[in-house]
Structure 1
């Protein structure tokens, strides 16, 4: 197996190597033997990160979600930036490193199995090791799901699920449209918002998801949608609150917490501003049969 980096982990980072017994089970199981992870992790703002391998016997994917780095394969050296996905096949000597002034944040996975070569070709990597996909929810969320196998005590079932999720992630690649630098992945951003309706995401977090400054993020979003990202996030929250008021027995305070507001009075003011009536009046109107068909 290709060795993973022994570089010291920065805060909020993770490196997970699977033990030999677990790898043997994955290699023998009919649901995972043709594609499974052998090690995986996430490095955040990886100052000083670098790796060089002359011997390489598995596939390696590296997805850059922030910052920059460089990759060398043979005589070719190229920059790697936010939204780039590296796919290195077995047998390809390589070296890579984080940029000194803007170090990358990366998610990565070493993988094995006979399906990997076919999936790599289907994703368009026949002519090179790097493709720019942009920050897409399918990729950001997909790599995050792989890491959910941690804290399992190396139990087999969570890693069998990780193998299935790895397959789903790679099968999505031919369906994705690479995001142009000049635009934004609105579908991915809106999916990220929907996944976090229970939280109070700040503008800075939304801008960071798109790898933009707050100023450029707001201007680009408004130009494409006609509203601000904060307005859209609020409307998604109120839309979900209406669904809870329509279909559940949750109290107003519970609905408020479900959409990320501990202060139910503040939530009620926001709800009234968007809907034109309070949450309790909205529910009362429904109970009286004036909610519409």
Structure 2
């Protein structure tokens, strides 16, 4: 069926069996591929499901509004910005909340890496909340557009390569730098870090410059990035040091001084802790 980038129209695509057979043996296509994909706008109030189950994974993503899914007679609510990932051969039903119907994006997929990807995305739980992300929905429509051109294997491969990225957005451990609020505070703090990579900043220094308390800044970073502010700052410094090792003839001692370290031994120990190799070893490999 022809896809349309239109938030008011339901649209769907299903992989023909002959193309699935091609993907099953393709060295790139067999790792992960979509078997069906569909968009349900708010005005589409139909229920949907797989009453007998299917031998593929089923992803349900509510970008707006709410709904529900049902397993073995038990009904579970799904809210805005939540996704459900159902295992292979799982009979289920789902439908919109009649008072606040969802805008639902669905995909069914399989492949050699599907099990590992699903373990990564679910972490043992079927339903998760995910922050809205600039570009996620655009990726969905780009995938659908190229699946429509399925007579060309390159378009199928492109769509499924994009699908890796699309799935990756649901397990974000990073913040959305284009948003306001706490995510924007993180971005502003990172910009401050990048301007001072040659200094030994402390948590107190960063908090004062960001006009936040040290405890709040630390909690915010761990929630949004899973790193402490100082861990992230150190990582940024070592990335800059890597660039200097690759692109200049500065000695390790000179780079240590450039990065604000009191001596090359402290710098080298920190560099190896982050990069897994000494500065000298990194330069020799570059």
Task: Please state if 1:136 is matched with 2:159.
Answer: no
Counterpart in 2 of 1:112?
110
By how many angstroms is 1:37 displaced?
0.4
State the distance in 2 between where 1:158 and 1:81 align. 33
State the distance in 2 between where 1:58 and 1:91 align. 7
Q: Residues 75-86 of structure 1: matches in 2 within 5 Å?
A: 76-86=74-84
What CA deviation, in whole Å up to 9, does each residue of 1:209-241 have, x standing for no partner? xxxxxxxxxxxxxxxxxxxxxxxxxxxxxxxxx
State the distance in 2 between where 1:94 and 1:126 align. 20
State the distance in 2 between where 1:100 and 1:172 align. 28
State the distance in 1 between where 2:8 and 2:72 align. 32
What CA deviation, in whole Å up to 9, does each residue of 1:161-206 have, x standing for no partner? 1111112222444443589xxx86967xx9xxxxxxxxxxxxxxxx
TM-score after normalising by structure 2: 0.55
Alignment check: 8 A CA contact 2:150 2:156 kept? no
By how many angstroms is 1:46 displaced?
4.2
Counterpart in 1 of 2:155?
158
Alignment check: 8 A CA contact 1:10 1:46 kept? no
Alignment check: 8 A CA contact 2:130 2:172 kept? no
State the distance in 2 between where 1:57 and 1:83 align. 26
- Give 4+ residue runs of structure 1 displaced > 4 Å after superposition: 183-187
State the distance in 2 between where 1:10 and 1:143 align. 12
Alignment check: 8 A CA contact 2:23 2:30 kept? yes
By how many angstroms is 1:103 displaced?
1.4
The DSSP-based 3-state class of the residue aligned with 2:31 is coil
Counterpart in 1 of 2:27?
30
Gaps of at least 5 residues in structure 1 are 1-8, 191-293
Larger Rg: 1 or 2? 2
The DSSP-based 3-state class of the residue aligned with 1:41 is strand
Alignment check: 8 A CA contact 1:63 1:83 kept? yes
Counterpart in 2 of 1:43?
40
By how many angstroms is 1:44 displaced?
1.1
Aligned Cα root-mean-square deviation (Å): 2.8
By how many angstroms is 1:31 displaced?
0.7
State the distance in 2 between where 1:171 and 1:30 align. 21
For residue 67 of structure 1, the aligned residue among 55, 65, 70 is 65
Gaps of at least 5 residues in structure 2 are 1-5, 188-286
